[in-house]
Structure 1
Amino acid sequence: MPSRSFAVLAALAGLVSMAVLVTVPSLQCLACETSLGAPDEQIERVFRDWASTFYWGAYAELLAVFLFTWFLAHLVAELRRVAPGQVYATVALLGGGLFAAGVLVQLAFSLAATTVAEGSGATVARLVLAVAYNFAFVFAAPVAALVMATSLAVVRTRWLPRPLGWAGFVAVVVALAWITPGVGAVAGMVWIAALSVCLAVRAVRPSGQRQAAVDAVVME
């Protein structure tokens, strides 16, 4: 079993990573308040003005993926402990891995945006702009998979507060709704942030209480 301090840090890594991964793309979209049909000169000017924002945003997202990896490993270990023999941990691992891979693709587009100021042209700018507006759609399915698996474990085992699990089901429905996949993905990421707080609070509890709770859950 990991030490209490490690468990707390690994759990809170999820909170920090979600804060970054929601904030940075949102700021980048606000920075690029221009339409795909705008003249080439206007689009290139916007990207030149905000080149540093894309660069530092990509670096922040890279750190966020690093932190999310530790959080995901901690979450999967907890799911295996409280729900042995179930598929929850595997689904959460696959969903989290696909989500992290998507973030790395988004990071690559953020770096591509910085090349517009160096002369890559309006074509690259338009591609990056289209991705910035629509990339949250890509996150909907893997985020929903992670949230659903964890929520099922929470509701069935009462390992964490059950209202968190019920809220997760709502986030999954919203994420997979055809009219709101982008917004739903963000809602799922906010839910993951709440999950990380609950995991951190649980990790602060004395180890004896934590193990007794897990044993009681497994025996039910």
Structure 2
Amino acid sequence: MKIALLGYGRMGKEIEKIAQQRGHEIVIRDNGEKSYDITTADVAIDFSIPNAAYNNITNCFKNNIPVVSGTTGWLDKYEDALEICKANNGGFIYASNFSLGVNIFFELNNQLAKMMSALDQYKVDIEEIHHTKKLDAPSGTAITLAEGIIENSERKSWELNGEASEEVIPITAVRTPDVPGTHTINYNSVVDAIEIKHTAHNRQGFALGAVIAAEWLKDKQGVFTMKDVLNIG
């Protein structure tokens, strides 16, 4: 499989190593400094920056190249991108986190939220910890976790550094050097606490998941999620 890497930072380089180990060829390494012919690729993997992601992704759709994107911070244009995808019969997977373990964690979060929804004595909050070079806060993964709780409970919204209440989920974003990503869901009451947590030890899990998603998406049309890739949920 011929892969275009749109974004060639730390994640792009990690994806390159995993892809080559799995027998794939990297035909484009886009670091934002030069033009490229996207049609030389079978599939694109976008881990660029927020202000480049939309153009990267829609250029793929217009050239019939399926694209996997893990870039966060551009989702105000997500629905517009989906329209272009559908108009061009494109293939697309967006995930806030491609780690296989994190996607299992998403499902655990959803199920726990359902179980806790009737127990109004518990307040819930989310903490995410990432490296200091992460550009957005809160992380896309934390937002996905918050949305999962909202979909499965009476909570209405999330707030960065907000106060926990019956309707609001506060998210705390911590930036520490050399932390690939840690996400914790806390349910606290006056008598006890319940916590679930995912800790990434390195970036290999994110890279592997993105390559597996690209393998699955090749030659497909439509908008999919990691649930489709992993056949879960």
Short-chain TM bin: under 0.3
The TM-score, its normalising length taken from structure 1, stands at 0.24
The higher relative CO (CA closer than 8 Å, separation ≥ 6) is in: 1
Q: Which has the larger radius of gyration?
A: 1
Higher fraction of strand: 2
